[in-house]
Amino acid sequence: MGLESALGEGFLTTKLDAVVNWSRANAVWPMPMGLACCAIEMMAFAGPKYDASRFGSEVMRFSPRQSDLMIVAGWCTYKMSHAIRRVWDQMPDPKWCVAMGACASTGGMHRSYGVVQGCDNFLPVDAYISGCPPRPDSLLNALIKIQDKIKKEHTVLLDK
């Protein structure tokens, strides 16, 4: 198609991007990497009161192969970081990551030799949430920010 040779801001390309990004943003299936107490708030985020499925996160897929978003909820120890990184590697593209809570963002209250001071030392994090634990509303806010980020993704035809 002549479309692919003129990969500028053509009308069809941007429309295709808009459609694809909209579809991806409204069906972000999280993979909960619930390591500690923040996992409880993540369960609340998926529960009926702070319903995540009204934003498209219909199911929490516990398999990395079936999910788009990894929510790291809780502190990562050095020993666990290898497993987390392996699970992250096993997620297919496109994928995003949310560091939920103080411990996943910066190590939180665990200023210790056994706890990784922030999971961004080994994962590419897209959104950080502060709080100990953050309210489920904060996690919803982060999900919305991830959706906004997805809607601004670059041309899907270049992403091969």
Q: Which residues bind other proteins (CB under 8 A)?
A: 20, 63-65, 78-79, 81-87, 89-94, 111-114, 116-117, 121-123, 156-157, 159-160
Question: Rounded to an integer, what distance in angstroms lies between the CA atom of residue 36 and that of residue 40?
Answer: 8
Closest CB to other proteins among residues 84, 142 = 84
Question: Rounded to an integer, what distance in angstroms lies between the CA atom of residue 27 and that of residue 147?
Answer: 9
To other proteins, the closest distance from the beta carbon of 114 in angstroms equals 7
To other proteins, the closest distance from the beta carbon of 120 in angstroms equals 10
Q: Are 140 and 152 in contact (CB under 8 A)?
A: no
Helix (H) or strand (E) holding 98: strand 96-100
Cβ atoms within 10 Å of 158's Cβ, excluding its own: 10
To other proteins, the closest distance from the beta carbon of 68 in angstroms equals 12
Closest CB to other proteins among residues 140, 146 = 146
